[in-house]
Amino acid sequence: MTNTNDDAGWVIQPHARPSVAVRGSAQLFPIHRIYCVGRNFADHAREMGHAAPASPEERGTPAFFSKPADAVISGAAIAAIPYPRETADLHHEVELVLALGRDADGVIAREDATSMVFGHAVGIDLTRRDLQAKAKANGLPWDSAKGFDASAPISELVPLSVAAPRETALLQLDVNGDLRQSAPLSDMIFDVADVLHHLSRFYNLRAGDLVFMGTPAGVAALQRGDRFNARVEGLVELHGAIAD
């Protein structure tokens, strides 16, 4: 059995736990796991060459993948995100991010799902698109395309006690002042209750989990020196840059 006692001795020094700032608090939100929802906007599914549901009955179930907790990058470090190794095609995917505030064992009913949410942020699912395409073409996993260092830039968290995103709020991303991605949150194929219900069928959800909720159309390449602004309209913004 793994010893999780913080007072235990370690054969090597453990790294600091990944965390993110919380608006209105000096305390940090500790990150447990990062889950991501794939193809949760119909227009993005189509631009990636996939069929999008024509009606609610055709939605099926969400597709999930993960990033390591320490893929998060926040605070002053976002001003100089390193361009990742082994790629020539780094893409941005702006996303609403859920932060879960309590544990749940087993499957969560849809009507109980939103009570799991502590707050929201805006994040970017950085993707090594060329590695992803190559892996897909060869029927291989594409973890290295999604789960690399600094691949999850994220804003501060906004607790629900402070504010919540409007259903029609725009999820947007500008690069060098030009609008690249924009869609209302209401365009999501699977909403918060759907996503947390389906995610809990596979995992015991925990306080500290982050859920990246999917991206709208307009994903494109980021170059060295590019500056970006991501936002959930009326709630939170994230400014940053890819290092030269």
Q: What is the pLDDT of residues 125-157, one digit of tens each?
A: 999 999 999 999 999 999 999 999 999 999 999
- Give the lowest-confidence range in 76-80, 168-172, 228-232, 237-241: 76-80
Residue labelled with tokens 């889950």: 35
| pLDDT, position 49 | 65
For the whole model, what pTM was predicted?
0.93
Contact predicate 121/158, CB 8 Å: yes
Contact predicate 24/236, CB 8 Å: no
Please give the Cα distance from 165 to 110 (Å, whole number): 19
Please give the Cα distance from 131 to 84 (Å, whole number): 12
Strand segments (E) across the chain:
19-21, 28-30, 34-38, 63-67, 72-73, 90-91, 94-100, 117-124, 127-128, 152-153, 158-159, 170-175, 178-184, 210-212, 227-232, 236-241
Question: Is pLDDT of 59 > 90?
Answer: no
Nearest-5° angle of CA 87, CA 83, CA 243? Answer: 155
Burial group, residue 153, by CB count within 10 angstroms (0-12, 13-18, 19+): buried
What is the phi/psi pair of residue 202, to 5°? -105, -30
Question: Is pLDDT of 166 > 70?
Answer: yes
Please give the Cα distance from 192 to 98 (Å, whole number): 8
Please give the Cα distance from 157 to 22 (Å, whole number): 5
Please give the Cα distance from 242 to 175 (Å, whole number): 11
Helix (H) or strand (E) holding 113: helix 110-113
Please give the Cα distance from 239 to 20 (Å, whole number): 15
Question: Is pLDDT of 52 > 70?
Answer: no
Contact predicate 218/200, CB 8 Å: no
| pLDDT, position 1 | 34
| pLDDT, position 110 | 95
What's the mean pLDDT in 19-32? Answer: 98
Question: Could you say which DSSP state residue 207 is in?
Answer: T
